[in-house]
Structure 1
């Protein structure tokens, strides 16, 4: 499942300044962790490296995602390997972010392993996470198979780093990405007629444009009986709307801040002035407004789940949505759905990346951190990612390059497939290319900025603001948010 981001950012009990300094102190001295009363990990010095913390129980807090569902359903291999038990708490992401913020602020160290969303957890609280390089470099601990270099580089940077320190704060764990999902059966049935009527081949390709997407959507509105509308969108006043709109913003050459690719990949505490007032941003908003005017009217009530359900119900012919819906699409409409990179705009194609990493709390004691490293190592290992991909209760997509070369995985890109998410693999790989990937700003104050964006875009779709006015209002609000600085 894609990440469920909150409408508003978490509100820590302490200021970020107090929280971060407290967390940093805990990591170096263990004082806050000692106050919490949680015992350190058990340690068996003469045991093999994987067994040295046998008898320990780790707490893992995660969003309710596909990889975590798969891991929770089959923790036995990890416990047999290490002697460590893992308790998993799954929450909607806004609740998770609040729990993690409170845990860091209090110094309790309740959670050893954290699902560290790059925007609402990692960026605001980066100093509260351990630098994973020291575990990988520790000869007494098992090292990552393939090292950090086996992770897809963009994923490691976007989901695992913050700033230019070189620290690795999280290991890439999931990677939902927005792609073009379409009724391949209907496109095949009506291809010749659409080509005659529209003057171009409608079949999705690298040359497809958003203007062509708009024309195809209009054609399906009245040209086919099997669906009610040509396109649908996740345009509810919600984080989903920001994600959907951003694809059009980027494709028209707009962005939220200057040097947006670097800010999205590595993060910053000072992004500068918002760029939503630019001609390119306004052009992207104007097209989005025009596209939504012909889309299924239900779009304005849907987040990604609502959109996915509408598509599976046969209500729409195509949509942009997270690639990991491929598994549920195949269950509902086996063999009828195709996947492609999102269309090009005047500047480029852009598909929103929504991946997250798992991290180790810097508030917990040193031995407990080392035990947590064993879990991170195992949970993101190629063998575990392969098992997750085939899991009947999970279905997460690999974040390691090596997994995509496994013969079983390569074969699963074609039907019949026992790993249905792999049917979208080529579209996703295209979307992950440097020139195509869409990365929202990784800044500590992103939660508030996100709210400003989807609030104003929603006003535009309701007819309460012009595209230009909506972009200016969002930019004004974002500039006020970022002007307050990193801490509050």
Structure 2
């Protein structure tokens, strides 16, 4: 069995700076590691071929992983394979994956391969899944690859090469406008009279109007809600995500290749375009918006702003649509969902989907067992289980799941599948003209850090927006050696 060449430690650590804390965290993994697994059994049930093997799955703290971790029994009964699932914050995951891939062994066999922070920098350390797809010795994806949403298969699974497939789409969080529908209904007429436009959230509302709505809540609705808007503006990846929606809406982008770099990606993105007139205009508006947002915004990531919304601290926010499950528990029937506002160029809704892949350092048995798990975890039945899970709520990446009658029925309240209440907003956000795709480049981890570090200084008032964008563009060019 041909296996990719092991990635050099230097190449991996260049993709992500690994500190002492990460090294200690990785060292603790030894207790979880496999000893190489059993040899695959010949013949018989292909799902039982690797029974007795133990595999480890590393994942970000996500809805589908929470659902699967709470219900691994169906997979273990189907395969005889034991699966351990370790969930953590994304930055720590990237650090641990970097250490694992560079070790020459496989402490983690199945990897949550974020397209930007794992797949692009570390694709050489992942198995090309074509090793299994079309191979009669292994179970094939139910309904074929055609059942995956095509744009998500490309964005989550491929890098540089349109033939190689490094991951199968696993989750598909997308940032949309989440708002207190009860408060918008209560104050609708007063807001409309004062502001001079219909404030009902929709893709037709501009970001400038969003600002005016937030400011109106700040000044007129303190008895019901402290602040009109909140944001995930912590000095963290979340700040980059929050800002990207505004950047693209204003017609700016990271590189001249624009959204095309979010699919197959590139090794040479060229000079950064962040300091363009559109990029600076976006930064100026974002700084103004954060100036009236809940002051906790500068300390919040997506979980922080989600908790603030659910506890009644803010009337609206941009956040990942999968927070709907928690919204419906905390504020049943009081929340509405819409695509994000539009800027001078368009409405842009950042897509945060991710696939799961296989560590190329795996032994033969671990490799086969990992494929069985990747295949099972992304199957329509498992995705529906995650969607319906009380602890999960992940959104399917399979077209067939959305076509199930029980899913269609759940689009209206009362809904047994609360994330599907966002379906209309998310489907609009997924349209080619509205989706927001970050550039898939091997240096993204360094670029991301440079961006959110300077943005944090900007919203703290330490630097002006135009200077911040010029600094970030210069750092991008230095990182990419342009």
Give the TM-score taking structure 1 as reference length.
Answer: 0.90
RMSD: 1.8
Is the 2:12–2:98 Cα contact (8 Å) retained in structure 1? no
Q: 1:217 aligns with which of 206, 214, 217?
A: 214
Task: Note the 1:123-138 alignment, pairs <5 A.
Answer: 123-138=120-135
Which aligned pairs between 1:417-456 and structure 2 lie closer than 5 A? Answer: 417-456=415-454
Partner of residue 360, structure 1: 358
Matches within 5 A, 1:304-319: 304-319=302-317
1:103 aligns with 2:100: yes
Q: Of residues 192, 197, 218 in structure 1, which corresponds to 2:194?
A: 197
Residue number in structure 2 paired with 1:75: 72
Distance in 1 (alpha carbons) for counterparts of 2:13 and 2:437:
29
Q: Deviations over 1:370-397 (max 9, x none)?
A: 2211111111100000000111111111
Any conservation in 1 of the 2:230–2:297 contact (CA below 8 Å)? yes
Give the 3 Å change call, closer, same or farther, for CA 40–301 of structure 1 in structure 2: closer
- How far 1:450 sits from its partner (Å)? 0.9
- The change in CA–CA distance for 1:37 and 1:427 in structure 2 (over 3 A counts) is closer
Measure how far apart 1:333 and its partner are.
0.6
Equivalent in the alignment of 1:161: 158
Tell me what 1:62 maps to: 59
Change (3 A) 1:257 1:305: same
Contact 1:38 1:109 in 2 (8 A): no
Q: Distance in 1 between matches of 2:409 and 2:58?
A: 34
Cα distance in 2 for residues equivalent to 1:197 and 1:359: 52
| Of 462, 467, 470, the match for 1:469 | 467
Which residue in the other structure is 1:344 paired with?
342
1:265 aligned residue = 263
1:16 is aligned to 2:8: no
2:50 is aligned to 53
Contact in 2 for aligned 1:382/1:403 (Cα 8 Å): yes
Could you tell me which of 321, 327, 330 is aligned with 1:329?
327
Pick closer, same or farther for the CA change 1:341–1:85 going to 2, 3 Å: same
Measured against aligned partners, the alpha-carbon deviations of 1:131-169 in whole angstroms (never above 9, x if no partner) come to: 112311101211111211111122111111111342110
Give the distance between the partners of 1:337 and 1:376, measured in 2 at CA: 34
Secondary structure of 1:289's aligned partner: helix
Match in the other structure for 2:23? none
Report how many aligned residue pairs link the two structures: 458
Deviates more, 1:50-59 or 1:350-359: 50-59
* Residue of structure 2 equivalent to 1:84: 81
Matched-pair contact (CA < 8 Å) for 1:19–1:105: no
Q: Which of 111, 114, 117 lines up with 2:114 in the alignment?
A: 117
Residue 63 of structure 1 contacts residue 92 of structure 1 at CA under 8 Å; is this kept in 2?
yes
| Partner-residue secondary structure (3-state), 1:204 | coil
Q: Does 1:296 align with 2:291?
A: no
Q: What is the alpha-carbon distance in structure 2 between the residues aligned to residue 97 and residue 301 of structure 1? A: 22
Cross-structure match for 2:27: none
Q: CA contact under 8 A between 2:12 and 2:101: conserved in structure 1?
A: no
Greater shift, 75-84 or 38-47, is seen at 38-47
1:206 matches 2:183: no
For structure 1, which runs of at least 5 residues remain unmatched after alignment? Answer: 1-11, 21-35
Partners of 1:160 and 1:172 within 8 A in 2: yes
Shift of 1:17: 7.4
Question: Hey, what's the Cα distance between the residues in 1 that align with 2:12 and 2:309?
Answer: 45
Change (3 A) 1:37 1:382: closer
Is the CA contact (8 Å cut-off) linking 2:54 and 2:81 kept in structure 1?
Answer: yes
Residue 243 (structure 1) aligned with residue 241 (structure 2): yes
Alpha-carbon distance between aligned partners in 1 of 2:102 and 2:206, rounded to the nearest angstrom:
48
Answer whether contact 2:39 2:364 (CA < 8 A) is retained. no
Residue pairs, 1:143-182, within 5 angstroms: 143-182=140-179
Distance 1:279 1:47 in 2: 64
User: What's 2:370 paired with?
Assistant: 372
